[in-house]
Structure 1
Amino acid sequence: MNVSFAEDMRRIDESVVNDYGLPAAVLMENAGRRTAEEAAAMIGGAADKVFAVFAGGGNNGGDAFAAARHLMNMGARVKLFFSGEEDRLGTAARAMHDAVRAMGVEIRPLVSDRDWDRLRVSLRFSDAVVDGILGTGVKGELRTPVVRLIEEINTAGKPVLAIDVPSGVEANTGRISSIAVRANRTLALGLPKVGHLLGAGANAAGQLLVDDIGIPHALLAGETLRQSLITRETAAKLLPVRARDVHKGTCGRILVLAGSLGMTGAAALAAEAALRVGAGLVTLAVPERLYPVLAAKLTEVMVVPIPDEGTGCFGGGKALEAALACAAHADAVLIGPGLGRKAETGEFVRLFAADVKVPLVMDADAIDAFRGHLDALRELPQVPILTPHLGEFSLLLGKDTAEVENDLLGVAREAARMHQAVFVIKSACTIVVYPDGDAFFTTCGNAGMATAGMGDVLAGAIAGLMQQMESGMTPLVGVYVHGRAGDIAYEHCGNGLVAGDVLELLPVALKELG
């Protein structure tokens, strides 16, 4: 499924009218009907229930007027509030406004103190709220009356269904400038929006539902849309069926360079994750001071000591020579988990990456090694896959984290293009961004995965898939399988799950793909 910006959906809506000959009112009617159905489902039915419906002056308000009419037909009582101006309603929205009024529903303004008193009373005795105040066009600070209205809705504590986007959320970024409706569910019309998935907008949206509202699927699947969801179907199509005559050599020889004093766990998790997604042979190269610990800990992974002159970290000419010798026998390389951030380690990473010709995944401290050395990143002989979290990504680019978060997708696209790298940016909704601008959003993962070691498992999973499929697509399957394993673990462990739980369930998630 594609993901849209606000302007994408406007173009699609225009095409429905101009190219398919469907009046805008048809889409609005469909949106209103589906909104009413989902609002009723949210509280177990509509009959004899009271719904407070809030309509603004745009098309979102027209959807709300239509929803109010359908709720009435379903046996509900509707308290309808209008925060816009009648003479500024568009043709379709005006038709929905007039139709619901003709049914005898009072459309209440929000002007006087008495109007606001009636609003509070209605909210107190309502069973649910439908938010149709603002649509996808909102940007910047909200007007004071709208802020006040959203505050009243949030304070009431009633179940809320938002139409398309929660009012106050910027559809293109997920940014909230001042305040936004806190929805229990959001019904995305046509396609999910970027703002449903990223930043504060994801929290405001609650459970995300999507309905095509009758838009021709050819428009929703259009190639001009450069954002998509990573679904089970996406991952299954990308992962080939394994032939019966494969052997460990054909399933991928993966080299992992990881670990430093105090960080042996990161190295172990990453190496084992590569095996757990089906890599044929995994070699873990570690500073020689760590070798006894990891050689004893790991059974299926081959552990190789790298000269470290007693420091317990990577660095120096001998280490580089030994690491490159290991890489000469690998089909893909992962470097970074638990490396540490000593100056000599950073230099080691940059020199190593510049000499490696096979697909390269860089995580954690390996990414930090290029902070202040972005020219070296651009000059690497391959298109590397970088797996930073938001903080690491911001540090790499020398930007403030809040600045990056306000337009994460835009910043990531520019970084991928400029530095010719694939970025897997880990957050509540992990995104994968390619140098050509294509971007993908995960559909799996949960709050229980906010714990140490998850990134090591993800990086290992991506590296482990390298020889099993087209290497450039491994981030998509790796992100999906990692998130799905996390969701399975969450069912049993809740917020107490650890990275090792996800590691053990990677094969289960992979098997689900067929």
Structure 2
Amino acid sequence: MKLVKPDEMRKIDKKTIEEMGIPGIVLMENAGKGTVDEMEKEFGSFVSKMIVVVCGKGNNGGDGFVIARWLIKKGADVCVFLIGKKDDVRGDAHINLNILSGMDIEVREIIDDGTLSPFRESLKDAYIAVDAIFGTGFKGEIGGITAHVINLINEKGIPVVSVDVPSGVDCENGDVGSVCVNATLTCTMCLPKRGLYLYPGKMHCGKLRVTDIGAPPSLFDEATVELIDISLASSILPQRPPYGHKGTFGKVLVLAGSPGFTGAAALTSLSALRCGAGLVYLGIPQSLNPILETKATEVVTIPLPETQSHTIGSSAMDVLNLYFKGIDVIAMGPGVGVHTDTRDFVIGVMQTASSPVIIDADGLNNLNGDDFKGDHPSLVLTPHPGELSRLTGKSIKYIDKNRIDVALTFAGEWNVVLVLKGAPTVVASPDGRCYLNTTGNSALATAGSGDVLTGIIAALSAQGTEPLQSAVLGVYIHGLSGDLAAKEKTEYCVIAGDVMENIPEAIKTIKDYPLA
């Protein structure tokens, strides 16, 4: 499913009305009716139940007027409030306001503290409150009487249904101010908005439902970001021919580990095997070989020349050149340490390899942004915001606030697939495609979790999946593995090994999903 920015949604609305000939009043009717349908699915019958509908002066408020009318038709007792004056309502919203007036349905204005009392009284007996105050164009802080209204709604503690977006959420980047509706259910129109999937905005949405308002799907190409859901993941999952052998399912070369970080090497290589790679080679500093042969018994270890600090040295290239031609993908970086000679080694791999290279953790810490600007093989970079901050010079705060745009910018500048880890993880490609992951939880914020992800992406690439699709499917599997682990152990108690051990169940869940 596509994900839109506010300006992309405005373009879709405009083309729907002007090019497809569907009047705005019809879209508003569909939005209101669709929201009521979703409310009924979630909360059951409304007969004789008090519902308070709070509307703004714009089109979001117009949706609210339609919702009020349909709720009354369903048998609810409805109180409708407008924040502002009726004379300020324009366009299609004004038409729907007049329809309510023609039905003798009172719409009470809230313009100051003196007119707030009826609203406060209505909330006392309310079963549900409907938030139709602000829409996708909102930015900034909410103040004045509107802030009072929202605070009263939140304090009441009843279910709240937000129309399109919880009032107070910036649909561009998920920002919220000091006042924001805490929705139980958000019914967003046509396509989900970016800010509903970005933090902190996502925390205010409750359950999210997408309401079809009749816009033709042919117009959705305006949207540049796609959600990674189980349907998309299932469509990417590589098939396993019954006649295959270990060569069929790909050979992965993992370059990882240094003193104190043997676990990173083991987690990466074993996760690649867990995710279906046929054969995994593990290149490690030669002094660590006895340890890794014990920790990762299913892996073929390659002892490599090392520096005085026992990190992989640049002379390791002489050994690895014997392996490169038979390798399908290289995963480099977890726990390799930072050293000038190790940096030369990392750059040497980038310049020599003909297969895709996934670079994570210390692989990135040995590099700078300029290292990606020359010719290089197909690269997948998997930084967290701190690593990307060092590579780009952008602050962590800026990166987190602009995750999608930052990922797209540097994927394009460096000609790489960029996996920006975090909540949520973003995958961007050099050609402008971008994906937002929908799996994962705080349990993944644990040492070694990123090593597991690197191994998963490497395994998928080794099985013939293109680097971008390997990253897209990889982050979904990784997040789902974390969700399954947390379900069993809680988000507090999960370690990276638990995530790895849940890869099989995650893949089974995806494999069993029924594609249309």
* TM-score interval for Structure 1 and Structure 2 normalised by the shorter chain: over 0.9
Contact 1:43 1:128 (C-alpha < 8 Å) held by counterparts: no
- Aligned partner letter, 1:238: I
> How far apart are residue 196 of structure 1 and its match?
1.2
> How far apart are residue 143 of structure 1 and its match?
4.5
Within 5 Å, which residues of 2 pair with 1:75-154?
75-154=75-154
Contact 1:253 1:332 (C-alpha < 8 Å) held by counterparts: yes
Aligned partner of residue 466 in structure 1, secondary structure = helix
- Aligned partner letter, 1:27: L
Aligned partner of residue 507 in structure 2, secondary structure = helix
1:187 paired residue number: 187
Within 5 Å, which residues of 2 pair with 1:21-420?
21-219=21-219, 222-309=220-307, 311-314=309-312, 316-370=313-367, 373-420=368-415
Evaluate the alpha carbon distance shift between residue 347 and residue 167 of structure 1 in structure 2; reply closer, same or farther with a 3 A threshold: farther
State yes or no: 1:2 paired with 2:2: yes
Q: Number of aligned residue pairs: give it.
A: 509
State yes or no: 1:479 paired with 2:485: no
- Aligned partner letter, 2:234: A
Summarize deviations over 1:434-466 as a string: whole Å, max 9, x none.
111110112222333332222111111001111
1:509 to 502, 506, 510: 506
CA distance in structure 1 between the aligned counterparts of 2:131 and 2:42, rounded to whole angstroms: 14
> How far apart are residue 142 of structure 1 and its match?
3.6
Summarize deviations over 1:15-63 as a string: whole Å, max 9, x none.
2222332221111111112222333444443223222221111111111
CA distance in structure 2 between the aligned counterparts of 1:101 and 1:394, rounded to whole angstroms: 56
- Aligned partner letter, 1:108: R
Evaluate the alpha carbon distance shift between residue 195 and residue 509 of structure 1 in structure 2; reply closer, same or farther with a 3 A threshold: same
CA distance in structure 2 between the aligned counterparts of 1:324 and 1:213, rounded to whole angstroms: 58
Summarize deviations over 1:221-269 as a string: whole Å, max 9, x none.
x333221112222223223422233221221110111122222222111
CA distance in structure 2 between the aligned counterparts of 1:330 and 1:103, rounded to whole angstroms: 73
2:424 paired residue number: 429
Aligned partner of residue 130 in structure 2, secondary structure = strand
> How far apart are residue 152 of structure 1 and its match?
2.8
Aligned partner of residue 502 in structure 2, secondary structure = helix
CA distance in structure 1 between the aligned counterparts of 2:238 and 2:244, rounded to whole angstroms: 13
CA distance in structure 1 between the aligned counterparts of 2:418 and 2:146, rounded to whole angstroms: 38
CA distance in structure 1 between the aligned counterparts of 2:135 and 2:439, rounded to whole angstroms: 26
Unaligned regions of 5+ residues in structure 2, if any? none
CA distance in structure 2 between the aligned counterparts of 1:286 and 1:144, rounded to whole angstroms: 62
- Aligned partner letter, 2:481: A
1:488 paired residue number: 484
Evaluate the alpha carbon distance shift between residue 42 and residue 181 of structure 1 in structure 2; reply closer, same or farther with a 3 A threshold: same
CA distance in structure 1 between the aligned counterparts of 2:102 and 2:390, rounded to whole angstroms: 58
Evaluate the alpha carbon distance shift between residue 103 and residue 491 of structure 1 in structure 2; reply closer, same or farther with a 3 A threshold: farther
- Once the two structures are overlaid, the 10-residue window that deviates more, 136-145 or 19-28, is 136-145
1:499 to 485, 496, 504: 496
Contact 2:424 2:436 (C-alpha < 8 Å) held by counterparts: yes
Evaluate the alpha carbon distance shift between residue 500 and residue 67 of structure 1 in structure 2; reply closer, same or farther with a 3 A threshold: same
CA distance in structure 1 between the aligned counterparts of 2:347 and 2:361, rounded to whole angstroms: 14
Aligned partner of residue 75 in structure 1, secondary structure = coil
CA distance in structure 2 between the aligned counterparts of 1:300 and 1:4, rounded to whole angstroms: 44
CA distance in structure 2 between the aligned counterparts of 1:501 and 1:133, rounded to whole angstroms: 44
CA distance in structure 2 between the aligned counterparts of 1:124 and 1:393, rounded to whole angstroms: 50
2:458 paired residue number: 463
Contact 1:324 1:352 (C-alpha < 8 Å) held by counterparts: no
2:449 paired residue number: 454
Evaluate the alpha carbon distance shift between residue 449 and residue 101 of structure 1 in structure 2; reply closer, same or farther with a 3 A threshold: farther
Contact 1:424 1:430 (C-alpha < 8 Å) held by counterparts: yes
Summarize deviations over 1:387-428 as a string: whole Å, max 9, x none.
112232223211111112222211211111111111111122
CA distance in structure 2 between the aligned counterparts of 1:267 and 1:123, rounded to whole angstroms: 58
Contact 2:274 2:504 (C-alpha < 8 Å) held by counterparts: yes
- Once the two structures are overlaid, the 10-residue window that deviates more, 105-114 or 116-125, is 116-125
> How far apart are residue 146 of structure 1 and its match?
3.0
- Aligned partner letter, 1:376: D
- Once the two structures are overlaid, the 10-residue window that deviates more, 140-149 or 457-466, is 140-149
Evaluate the alpha carbon distance shift between residue 214 and residue 264 of structure 1 in structure 2; reply closer, same or farther with a 3 A threshold: same
Evaluate the alpha carbon distance shift between residue 66 and residue 389 of structure 1 in structure 2; reply closer, same or farther with a 3 A threshold: same
Aligned partner of residue 317 in structure 1, secondary structure = coil
CA distance in structure 2 between the aligned counterparts of 1:394 and 1:162, rounded to whole angstroms: 35
Aligned partner of residue 170 in structure 1, secondary structure = coil
- Once the two structures are overlaid, the 10-residue window that deviates more, 92-101 or 192-201, is 92-101
Aligned partner of residue 209 in structure 2, secondary structure = strand
Contact 1:289 1:310 (C-alpha < 8 Å) held by counterparts: no
1:440 paired residue number: 435
Contact 2:284 2:304 (C-alpha < 8 Å) held by counterparts: yes
- Aligned partner letter, 1:486: G
Evaluate the alpha carbon distance shift between residue 183 and residue 339 of structure 1 in structure 2; reply closer, same or farther with a 3 A threshold: farther
TM-score by length of 2: 0.92
Contact 1:285 1:306 (C-alpha < 8 Å) held by counterparts: yes
- Aligned partner letter, 2:65: F
- Aligned partner letter, 2:262: T
> How far apart are residue 148 of structure 1 and its match?
3.3
Evaluate the alpha carbon distance shift between residue 234 and residue 469 of structure 1 in structure 2; reply closer, same or farther with a 3 A threshold: farther
Summarize deviations over 1:206-229 as a string: whole Å, max 9, x none.
22211212222333xx33322111
CA distance in structure 2 between the aligned counterparts of 1:241 and 1:364, rounded to whole angstroms: 30
Contact 2:314 2:348 (C-alpha < 8 Å) held by counterparts: no
Summarize deviations over 1:276-308 as a string: whole Å, max 9, x none.
111110011112232222211112111222222
